[in-house]
Amino acid sequence: MQQEPVTRTTLADHRLPHGTAFDHVEVRRITLAPSVQPGAHVHNGPVFGVIEAGSAHVHVEGGTERVLRAGDTFYEPGDATVLRFDATDEGVTFLGWFPLPDAASPEIAMGRAPAADDAMPTV
């Protein structure tokens, strides 16, 4: 039996909020040393990623905590608290794709996302 010359496998398919618009996507390689635990945080937009090497404990609020290893993908919604993205004792390196509106840069805020009740009223 001969192997196909090209194979395509869908690893993830994430739905984005209706009306989401992006001007550019920044791709970063990020490395956490062994056992680094950055703490809960929130991004200013969605993050898509794939683990290149090592492994990490990942838990996005509302989801299930899991251990990601090389080749595993992840998605962090822009309005969700990432409760854990902690390197295991082997450390972790991953690629992160940050879709952004015009002139924006990826930002991270430490701590939990504000509750919907705490949001500033729109006038």
Query: Is residue 87 a part of any domain in this protein?
Result: yes
In a domain, 114, yes or no: no
Separation between Cα atoms, residue 69 and residue 50, nearest integer Å: 9
1 within some domain: no
Number of domains in the chain: 1
Confidence tier at 117 by pLDDT (50, 70, 90): low
pLDDT value of position 123: 37
Domain that holds residue 65: 24-101
Question: Is residue 112 situated within a structural domain?
Answer: no
* Residue-by-residue DSSP string for 41-83: EEESS-EEEEEEEEEEEEEETTS--EEEETT-EEEE-TTS-EE
What is the Cα–Cα distance from 18 to 73, expressed in whole angstroms?
A: 22
* pLDDT number for residue 114: 76
Please say if the pLDDT value at position 120 is more than 70. no
Note the pLDDT of residue 4: 86
- Higher per-residue pLDDT: 122 or 14: 14
**Average pLDDT of the residues of the chain:** 89
Q: What CA–CA distance (Å, rounded) separates 93 from 50?
A: 9
Q: Any idea what the CATH number is for the domain that residue 69 is in?
A: 2.60.120.10
Q: What is residue 13's predicted lDDT score, i.e. its pLDDT? A: 87
Does residue 2 lie within any of the structural domains?
no
